[in-house]
Structure 1
Amino acid sequence: MKKVININFQGRVIPIEESAYDILKQYVDSLRKFFANEEGRDEIINDIEGRIAELFGESLKKGATCITEETVNGIIASMGRPEDFEGEESNVKSQLGGEGKQSQSSYQFSPNDAPRGRLYRDDNDKLLGGVCSGVANYLRLDPTIVRLVLALIAFLGGSGILLYILLWIILPSKPLVNTVSTKRLYRNPDEKVIAGVASGISAYFDIAVWIPRLIFVFPLVTGVISSIFRHSFWWDGDPFPGIVFGSFGGTLFIVYAILWAVIPEANSASEKLEMRGERVDLNTIKNTIQEDLEGFKSRAEKWGGEVSAKAQEFGSEVKQTFTEKGAQFGSEMQFVAKKSKFSIFKVFGFIFKAFFLFIAGVIAFALLVALLAFLVAGVGVFPLKNFFLEGFWQNFLAWSTLLLFLGVPVVAFTTWVIRRIMGVKSGNKSIGFTFAGMWVLGLISALTLAFLISENFDARAREKAELTIKQPATGKMIVTVPESKVKVYGRWLKLDGLISMTDDSLFLNNVRIHLIKSKDSLFHIESTKYSNGSDESSALKNIKEMNYGINQQDSTVYLDRGFSVQRGTKFRNQGVVITIQIPVGKRILIDKKVQRRLNHFSLNNGRNDWDSDEDWNDYYGWDSDVEYVMTTGGLERIKDNKKIDKVESTDQDNDGVSDAVEEYKKSKEELRKEYEKKQKEAEELKKELDKPVDTTQYKYKKAVVLNTESGNKSNASTKKPVQQEEELLETPKLLLMQMVL
């Protein structure tokens, strides 16, 4: 019988036999003596103890009740004893160069070449059913990799769960011996850029680290660039573009996040050795820790030297700058003070020079951001150039404006930021002059392009046409826009409600509706097409190529959704104005589709527009889905066939009168209902009075009226019984009449 005790070893509660604990204690003490003079001895001992604790945990996880002497001796044999390395270390030191050290530190573990045999579920290393660990044992891989692959399959398609259940049912279970290489998948903290996932994968598969990084980054970057261009060309897209979640790069982004969360980081020396597939023993752990310490020391010394050099350089620059600026400031102040007493304003101007320079820098940065926005917008609307620009020079100047005027400042600023971050300094000022010269050329190109384009909009023409329509039989006209039977999805560009463009045409919704009073008793519809051009003949030519239709069915007027501008025809601010004349007493309703589908815009400035000279007082404002009636006073809104208020009237007194009228109507209606109710009750009472009276229900007897006055006594005594009966019968009738009255 052996005594079992519980110990706290590297943060783990380990049940261990007392004799095994004595062996472990002696082993750890020998390690402390062996590494007493080594650099980083505490880290070496701590990592060796951590590795032993991991092996203890694996043994307990496989079903062992406690740690026995055999388990401790096996771990010590795999880790190695200090005396085993003394002779080997002396041999290494006696060899020339670092050849022996290299052979010692690159001791690789070769996987077992035994036949694989049958596929089982592993009972020793299972989280759920042992399927992943069994497949990993069969393929001689790290179980973490198989679990990650299965999780990704389940996450992306859902079939991974079904596959796991089928293998769980089909495969038999068996405790398997771990014949897998000691190489494990970890995140590498030494060569990480974000989380060390790519460098950990490169260490596991023994490939260059740039390969997995390129696999993760390249699809994401291309997705971002394609998304920017795509959503610049299609402006009606999803507000959450597929930069992260809608492409293969987005899938790899999710994979990277999952790997970051699942794969542990190799912090200890034994974990780093497992990551590289090297044998984990005392010597390799010692070499790994010492390499880390030497690397950290060299990096710290290098960083300290750089910081010291930068500090000295910065101090000398600051000292020199302040010396020069101070002397310059003193000379300027002395010159200004001697010049005149009124030159004090120059002193204040010089003092606030730095402040103004700061403000100028902020403005320059804001302009740069604006230029970047214009650059992106210019790329987005660049397909419009085929419908907007004409001739070689306009296209050439457009490219020059985009690349030189908008693109050069962005490139120059980006270059400056990168050079500042990398600490690159150059005394050659030719780069700055080159960027400045290119930007000036871009500015000249932009101004020239604006001048040439403005010449194409100098003249303006219009063409009116009155349509023949049938008068609505009900006296009410409905204006709407029909639904399109064809859906176009291959658009390059769409500015919601204004412009949409396909491969060979530009579709414009530039249509305006005016409502005015008719001069007679009939409805009239007038269509006016207008366009700009370099001269009147070109403007009229553009109008002739416009095709806008208006159809009528009964009392409903259907307006086209817009008109097309073909590739051969340039955009010259073409538009249509529909004027509807409404006779007095007739009604009109404009459907909400009109306001949603048709939108007016103009590129002309100020009063260059032809309809700016029209009398706007003759036009009435309107809202969609609201019925109006034309009166002698103008267009009025209709609600429930009752006239409520004028569209353009905002007089509060009229609103008060309208409320009073409504209140009066309401009171009158309540009085009428109350009168009808009383009249009905009176009729029911009258019917009740007309019924024959049942005299048997009244019982009465003669009464003798005692009165001291003889006259009254004689009168009472002289009444006959029949007369008294009639008086009693009249009593309920009188009561009923009083109730009615």
Structure 2
Amino acid sequence: MNKTVNINLANTLFHIDDDAYNKLRRYLESIKRSFAGTTGSDEIIADIEARIAELFLEKMENERQVITHKEVDQVIDVMGQPEDYMVDEDIFEDEPKKSRPQQETRNKKLYRDIDHKYIGGVCAGLEHYLGIDALWIRLIFILLAVFTSGFGLIAYILLWILVPEAVTTSQKLDMRGEPVNISNIERKVKEGFDDVADKVKSVDYEKMGNKVKSSSKTFFDTIGDIILFLFKVFGKFIGILLIIIGAATLIGLFFALFTVGMFDAVHFPGVDFYEIVNTTGAPVWVVSILLFFAVGIPFFFVLYLGLKILVNNLKSIGNIAKFTLLGLWLISVGILIALGIRQAAEFSNTGSVHERNELTMENVSDTLVIKMKNPGYEYTRDDVHFGRMSFAYDQNDKRMLISDDVEIRVRKSEDSLVNITVRKDANGSSSLAARERAKKIDFGYELVGNQIILDEYLTTDTSNKARNQEVSVTIHVPEGKMVRFEQSTKYHIARGIENDRDYYRSGIVGYLWKMDKDGELKCLDCPELEDTDDGDGNNKIIINEDGIDIDIKDNQDSFQMKIDEDGIKMKAGQKNNN
């Protein structure tokens, strides 16, 4: 059983084994003796202690871990013994120089250089990290800020917040890629930082020259270094791309949340669209927050990953923050999925209600005229649509939902009276709910003389939401009754109205039709067929307002082509002579 001691090293509390403590104490005392009487000795020793504390923290897995002999030996190996270095080389130039232990190669860490800063030291720190003059880096940030709608400014602020500043001597050495040991700490404190860059460059060139002279680097080593360099460049490019994607998405979500979702400061059509379809009861600002977390948190980690790729020593956001964000994301996604399922259920069932009435005409011999009521003076429609449903306002500025999904069908009556059937359809989460929503559809018609005047729009209250509401009007006409469709019905005539001219939907508008005993409309005033008969009565080309109808036949082959509002139909075949 070993005794443990609590020590305060560079304002950091450590638990250390008693034997390890004695060794560390003797090591620090020898360092103090080595620098006794040296200019700036107090600052040198403080920086050495700070570096030792940093190394201990790197080796500790948790804050309660006890530092042992092993960790102290590892720290001493990194820092070196005082006698390994020539502290006052200028004084003892006549003595033979002791060989210095080979220094470790270190990667540069990104810090903000506050000693050469203009604003936050970001560009000065990037100069050390990238090896590019700070002037060019500042110009790049300015150009990005001007030509990318402020992205350069946002990137600078993010780096200012996330990148730590180089305060201690150890951090400044890390920033320049120099080993943080007793020799370098002492040298930086004594020399200052005015000529550090030149000294570092001279040491680097000397190392490179020695490596070339010794031919220690083979051709394949060089190729490997080039490939590794290319991979690093590609990685940095990926990091920059991830930062741009993440930052742009987060900025867009942020402005959308606080302008549209939270305060509705900017009126976007999407808000009205949400009001039309939403039946979950969740306000738009709640859904906006949920979407912000569900989409924004993954892109935040995309941004964070990009920064981790570019910045080796980026401060971690911590496990608490990571798990908190993960929890928020899971909760937001779960709630959105539940709301989506509930929303989809609103379209799972269709309900219908029917209304059938007899219409009594004053003069049964008159032609039955079918037309639509002109609503131009009654409703003002919005531009926001869900299918054929949109918002509208009546003359009293009452807001409602309105749709032109009204279809007209004509069938043969089973008696001598004109009958009209109105079927209203809507969707809902159940058949009963769908029927209740269908009952709330407002649609009217009236018989004025010999005219059946139908509403061109169906309407319903905004609380009923858009659920594929539609109206189908079937007019039952007695045999022998004359019928005419006015132009206003052109876009409301349903498919499948049988007629002797095979006119399709709007083609029957404007002509006089008679209901025959088979339930087919016979045209009484349609234009005569323009026949281009070649003598055998098999060929015809008809061109009228309904399109082009070509029918060519001979003794061997036949060809038919019809062009109308539904497209092109062609049929070709060989004539059967049997």
Normalised-by-shorter TM-score class: 0.3 to 0.5
TM-score (norm 2): 0.38
Q: Which protein is bigger by CA-based radius of gyration?
A: 1
TM-score (norm 1): 0.31
Normalized per residue, which structure has more helix?
Answer: 1
